[in-house]
Structure 1
């Protein structure tokens, strides 16, 4: 799906300007969107084909994050090299001519790349509707399947290893998340009415920076990562704190009473970068955009922000998707993101789990008991398998840091692959990846690596 009338444009370095405010300042009212980008060919082309336009920088500078009114100042070398200091969200006045405007802009020498803004969703299988049956015996015993109990006994985690849940927000007052949440952030700004043929509900226009959940999806994911364990198993990340970053609004598909999460590329990319800049060590991304619904003439969505996270040593985990088909869903399909499929209690791949050569491994993803906006619910989908992997990643990072070693995405991925259970005979299959998550075996594999070579393969991040 695309967001009609909205482009994302990256200028070449020599054409960039510093006058345009960053999106977070515009949301705060501390900056106004500009009606000019380069005062040259780009502006003339956008006005010719789009009638009028307004624009803001997608990303805030890391050094200036939270410096109200000046978050567009002070980009570092990494941010500049990835184009973050010159990537703009452009809203056109003539929505119907967005494709013409895109084609014309791409021909300009000043433009490095341009795309129509895509939308990501949290589409879960139909059987993941909230359930009033929250009995433990009605849920998959996921913790036993992945040997979570001995893993948490071996490694309790560390509050300094922060896990960001980049999603629909969280249930901020839920007892299970008491003393487990950091302040968080909200980058949603979809306006009012409809987007992608869906009716927006709740806070969809950047009313504040509070990551309050209007869907329940992010709350469920956060519970798998960080729940206290009062009425369900404790969070897989142990003592790690959870950073909720709301990038997806609530929406109802046409003809449906069901609410799902939907977010725009710019809002999501901004939120992922904010999570990195606020100190997240692990980021869980249980959403995606199908390859069939993205702009074929542009690089894969989220490429730049994934590269930024990897450069900062952040571990990235994403859900494979729930189409049941062989296809690429972004960001899961971007190397080196850890892409997570779903299995049932027999370690058979769930029928809905998306297939592909980029699958890293699988985790339990059916009838997972976790949090709802109020209370608890059972949910099914790769969205709810991914946070088990994110939680184990946090335990690995905590244990390695205690030995003076920093792990990044590639190091964590390598350990998870080598320690997986139910491994395919040929080492990898397009449905289950390299096998099923084994939390305790992953920690034991890390211990063996550190003992054998404390300055070896696990000492760098990437």
Structure 2
């Protein structure tokens, strides 16, 4: 009981992001889920892993970052501007961005001290939560109507901060607030005891993948003729920062926009502008797929977003009937995001994501590490790997992403990062779809893997994946 009191007291005193290794999945069809678990030495794998399984059948997995607490940066305080009322003075605790599609107003802040409910059942031990997350919220899918949503909140002493019907999740997604300082892991375990809750996840925080930053050499390196490149009328969704839609490189490129965090002012437009421009820019800063139609969802500010906001952007993208979704961001594993990606892929969308810029020993980056997502790492003009790129069996493909000129919120800039390598791949895939509209997502993924230029050790490896994108060869590949 004393230990529990210490945990609750610590949660009341400071809002922190909890850092822990993420659990990986991989696109490699030769690895079983047990091998993947062992690859990352997860608790679930335990002592049952043989040496071969732990090594992924001879493949070495990415190292995991050391655990520990990372104090909440001021940036996230700005991103989540409405902290709940506290019974006593305490360090500012952030509240999340408001969902633009909420159908229920947030519950009013408590008027006095909150007593945590007692006698609640724990259906499982308190959950260890990996990665960065909003410290006073959980995301839950609920079977039932608004009455059931509120009953769950009342029973567990939670606040209904937003709820909406998610197309990709196929159910009601509720963002519950934890006003009394209980750890997220404890609340997730308490929610598991209620049969009306289907999935229960932290509201994870994700980061855009831009490294510190010459003519765009990508056309040459991926074997794409700039004079013949075209993604005409191919619909591509981009989930990113706000954009400078007045930039000449984006003239006529943006077919639709959606702001998944309308209550947060736009301060930066560089990252999203660069990604859109590299995919389908026109004029002097031509992208990989001129003529493609970009459906842009703004879901990041100051380089950060939350799971709730990203899911809202993904649902909007799915409603636009896009063929490709570009996700140039990275965060911890989250089952809700995995489900949304799996269902988007089932609808025929090609999912492209940045592998991450957090270094060789970083944990796997998501959504890139989910099955069915093309995880892209970055190479330079000489096909060398970007030193700060993530490594791991989930890395699928390499593409140019080091020191490239791209449009930005201030005109143009030299950019570096797996974010931009992912944009190059999304644009290249738009060329494939333009040339052969009936080509399926599975066929495209297989062609990219089979025709990539092998880099590094022979065969697929943890640094370069299958190798450098060769779009000319992929276009000619036959199933």
- TM-score, normalising length: structure 1: 0.70
1:208-262 per-residue CA deviation (whole Å, 9 max, x = no partner) reads xxxxx724111111110011032x3x21123211111111122xxxxxxxxxx11
The 5 Å alignment of 1:48-447 reads 50=158, 53-61=159-167, 82=169, 84-95=170-181, 97-125=183-211, 127-128=212-213, 138-139=214-215, 141-149=217-225, 153=228, 156-159=230-233, 161-188=234-261, 202-203=265-266, 214-230=268-284, 232=285, 234-250=286-302, 261-290=303-332, 300-326=335-361, 327-401=363-437, 405-408=438-441, 410-424=442-456, 426-445=458-477
1:171-214 per-residue CA deviation (whole Å, 9 max, x = no partner) reads 1111111111112111126x67xxxxxxxxx34xxxxxxxxx72
1:118-139 per-residue CA deviation (whole Å, 9 max, x = no partner) reads 00011432x22xxxxxxxxx44
User: Where does residue 199 of structure 1 map in the other structure?
Assistant: none
Give the deviation of 1:263 after TM superposition.
Answer: 0.6
2:368 partner SS: coil
Q: Distance in 2 between matches of 1:413 and 1:318?
A: 13
Q: Give aligned pairs, total.
A: 347
Give the deviation of 1:58 after TM superposition.
Answer: 4.4
Q: Distance in 2 between matches of 1:219 and 1:157?
A: 18
2:335 partner SS: coil
Give the deviation of 1:170 after TM superposition.
Answer: 1.6
2:359 partner SS: coil
1:245 partner SS: strand
Q: Distance in 1 between matches of 2:287 and 2:430?
A: 11
Quickly say closer, same or farther: Cα 1:7–1:419, change in 2 above 3 A. Answer: same
Contact 1:319 1:386 in 2 (8 A): yes
Contact 1:45 1:104 in 2 (8 A): no
Give the deviation of 1:5 after TM superposition.
Answer: 1.2
Q: Distance in 2 between matches of 1:215 and 1:157?
A: 24
User: Where does residue 452 of structure 1 map in the other structure?
Assistant: none
2:256 partner SS: coil
Give the deviation of 1:348 after TM superposition.
Answer: 1.7
Q: Distance in 2 between matches of 1:396 and 1:426?
A: 26
Q: Distance in 2 between matches of 1:322 and 1:331?
A: 14
1:112 partner SS: strand
Give the deviation of 1:354 after TM superposition.
Answer: 0.5
Structure 2 gap segments, 5+ residues each: 1-131
User: Where does residue 12 of structure 2 map in the other structure?
Assistant: none
2:387 partner SS: coil
Q: Distance in 1 between matches of 2:332 and 2:186?
A: 23
- TM-score, normalising length: structure 2: 0.68
1:315-361 per-residue CA deviation (whole Å, 9 max, x = no partner) reads 10000000122431110000010000111122121111111101111
Q: Distance in 2 between matches of 1:168 and 1:59?
A: 24
User: Where does residue 141 of structure 2 map in the other structure?
Assistant: 10
Q: Distance in 2 between matches of 1:56 and 1:38?
A: 10
Contact 2:199 2:336 in 1 (8 A): no
1:118 partner SS: strand
Q: Distance in 2 between matches of 1:376 and 1:163?
A: 22
Quickly say closer, same or farther: Cα 1:360–1:111, change in 2 above 3 A. Answer: same
1:11-70 per-residue CA deviation (whole Å, 9 max, x = no partner) reads 2xxx411x4xxxxxxxxxxxxxxxx54454x233332xx4xx124334455xxxxxxxxx
Contact 1:423 1:435 in 2 (8 A): yes
Structure 1 runs of 4+ aligned residues shifted over 6 Å read: none
Contact 1:140 1:366 in 2 (8 A): no
Q: Distance in 2 between matches of 1:435 and 1:85?
A: 38
Give the deviation of 1:300 after TM superposition.
Answer: 3.4
Give the deviation of 1:270 after TM superposition.
Answer: 1.4
